[in-house]
Structure 1
Amino acid sequence: MIMKDWINIKNDQERNLMIRRAQTARIIIICSYCIMGLQWSFISVLPIFGVTMRLTPNITDPGRIPMPLQSHYIYDITKRPQYELTFISQAVYVAIGMMAYTGVDNFLSLVVFHICGQLNILENRIQHLDKYKNYPKMLKRCIEKHIRLLRAIDIIEDTYNGILLSLFIYFAILFAFYGFRIISLFDEGNDMSITHLIYFISTIINIFTHMCLYCVLGEILVAQCNKVYYAAYSNKWYIMDPKIAGDLLLLMTRGSKQICLTVGKMSPVTMATFCSLVKTSVGYISVLHTTRR
């Protein structure tokens, strides 16, 4: 679909619009991988210098350089080359896991920004229908394009609603525990090293940013779909030929329905949902803090 849309671009204005959308998605992808690269260096590189991000020791630690991840080993890793191979394998697995986790987010951002670019092009065409010589044919193409984009959004929704549900639950729990950890640092005094504190803060920012990204993408998608609806409504459909007005009415009727990504088919993925999620997590932090006292 993406390749076909780029091939069917009609003029430089549409091409520049799509390039801007693609560049925005590219910036998000680069930033995501940079954050994950920083996290990976904390987990996999610093242990080489004897600095581990783990807060508790493991009984299977060899005593020299700690492993990136805590685990129970079925073989003796204190010997060589078992130790080196285990360390390298863990570093590789962590990198693969981070790329897979970030790749899901980046693919969603890429597809959503592409669809938003196509919706923006559709909006411009609908707003200037009267400038086309054969505008009934152009209107028909716009309706077909709108239906195709809505089907693409439905496919994304069906693919990601379960993933988003699990991620929202994961974020709520993890954010609550991290928030509780921050409060504990202030209550008991900061016994963390600077390296641990930087890693801790970067982890919170990483989780918060990725979850916020989902909601921002959902918000952008909703806003762009609404713009298409208002573009159709802004036409003088009431003085058009009844047949053409009927076609435009179909587009307005379909555009009036809310189109958005959802969390498990239950709640729309918007910034309002994100704020509610953060509010819920803060409530859990308060409960944990009160229970500890």
Structure 2
Amino acid sequence: MLVHVLREYNVNKIFLSHLGLWPFQSKLVRNFLPIFCLVLEISYFPFEILILYDHQDDAQMVFEGFYQLVISTAFLVRLWNEIWNRDKFQCLYEAMNDHWNIFTNDLEVRILKEYSTISRKFTIFYSITMYLLSSMFIVIPLSSVFLDIVMPLNESRPRILAIDVEFRVDVNEYFMPLFCYTTAIIVVGMSIMVAADTMHFTCTTHACSLFSIIGKQIENIALERDVEICGGSASKELKLSDEQAIYQKYIICLKKYQLALKFVNILNSTHQTVAVFFLLLIGATLSLIGVRIVYVLNQMEEMIRFTFIIMGALLQLMIMCYSGQKLMDESQNIFYRAYAAKWYIYSPRLKSLLITTFYRSYTPCCLTAGKLVPLSMTTYAAVIRAGMSYFTAFLSIKE
């Protein structure tokens, strides 16, 4: 039983369980719910293709169809990644629970608690923000329904769905079932993003806490070594027993460092493929939505709705890149903390351990997209820049 995970990351577990993505659920739930969500999202693709086919001469509707196609693909890619890497995610969650049993002294528990609190607060904030944005996106088109109740006319106002799609039926006549269907598509897709993104951030934050612990311990061992030397004889030689004790502490610290590196490798393997698609899809979303907004500059409601989509896409990209940047910074801090010690007066045995630490920590750990592009704030800026470039290119096509 994952006692520590269920205590510290219970909010993440709830989000994943509602989609059948929690690997410790019953087999029936783990198989049925993800397949249901997958089929539901795939069922929307034919209608998106229809809107492209039926309105191929209308540039505005073409951009409408393409951005919906991109967002639906993002939902499917995220869900499929969770299903495909289920065993790896199970290993990650079990490793997180084991770390709470391995890192047990006061300093280690305090740092683990600090980072788990950060991840919990982020999960709550991010989920509220994303669901609020999606709720506004769904509710704003219902203004005509509200106006019919508050200020009725001789005839009903035209009904508008949250997303423009070609069902080839009378929307006014079948408004309620179509509205429920499109709402389900949006809510399930947003739930997939919230569950996957928050758990990814939580795992990355946990990895940061491990590197923070290791860096602090290396710093404490170095300070202890310096105090022993300063209080020793003029020859600055430690007693054999003191030297052996410090050496053993450093060995234990390096073993924990290996656990952290193994955890990051598994975490990276679960996201490096989907990250490539995600960077491309978010860049495409920004450019396509930008062009779509140009078409509705005189329609305030539509502008607000599409602004919500851009805000959500930018927030998702920010989380993915910022968490990767934070991981890089925390892992490289180990090098700086070890180098700050008076390593040049250490015994040969301690020097050999420090050299190993220098060599490994000099190159920071990072999460990558396709083993090529590191997820960092530099990548964040590059994706936005590329999205704006394609936006101007699409805008010229529109004109």
- Fold shared, TM-score > 0.5 on shorter chain: yes
Q: Identity of paired residues, percent?
A: 20
Q: Does 1:20 align with 2:129?
A: no
Give the equivalent residue in structure 1 for 2:215: 123
- What TM-score does the superposition give when structure 1 sets the normalisation length? 0.83
Aligned partner (choices 254, 277, 289) of residue 360 of structure 2: 254
- Whether the 8 Å contact between 1:42 and 1:53 is mirrored in structure 2 is no
Counterparts of residues 56-67 of structure 1 (less than 5 Å): 58-64=167-173, 66=175
Q: Which runs of 5+ in 1 are unaligned?
A: 68-82
Post-superposition shift, 1:64?
4.2
- Whether the 8 Å contact between 1:47 and 1:66 is mirrored in structure 2 is no
Give the equivalent residue in structure 1 for 2:77: none
Deviations 1:182-217 (A, max 9, x none): 3344xxxx33243x3332211110111001111101
RMSD between superposed Cα atoms in Å: 2.4
Q: 1:139 to 1:61 in 2, by over 3 A?
A: farther
Q: Does 1:4 align with 2:95?
A: no
Counterparts of residues 49-88 of structure 1 (less than 5 Å): 49=145, 52-55=161-164, 58-64=167-173, 66=175, 83=177, 88=180
Q: SS of the residue aligned with 1:168?
A: helix
Q: Does 1:201 align with 2:316?
A: no
- Whether the 8 Å contact between 2:214 and 2:257 is mirrored in structure 1 is yes
Give the equivalent residue in structure 2 for 1:180: 291
Give the equivalent residue in structure 2 for 1:191: 298
Deviations 1:144-179 (A, max 9, x none): 111111111111111101110000010111100112
Q: Does 1:267 align with 2:373?
A: yes
Deviations 1:81-130 (A, max 9, x none): xx4xx765654454333222221111110011111111111111000104
Q: SS of the residue aligned with 1:128?
A: helix
Q: Which amino acid aligns with 1:139?
A: Y
Q: Which amino acid aligns with 2:359?
A: T
Deviates more, 1:90-99 or 1:249-258: 90-99
Q: Which runs of 5+ in 2 are unaligned?
A: 1-94, 146-158, 226-241
Give the equivalent residue in structure 2 for 1:97: 189
Q: Size of the alignment, in residue pairs? A: 271
- What TM-score does the superposition give when structure 2 sets the normalisation length? 0.62
CA distance in 2, matches of 1:276, 1:108: 22
Deviations 1:41-70 (A, max 9, x none): 346566774553234664224424636xxx
Aligned partner (choices 194, 202, 205) of residue 113 of structure 1: 205
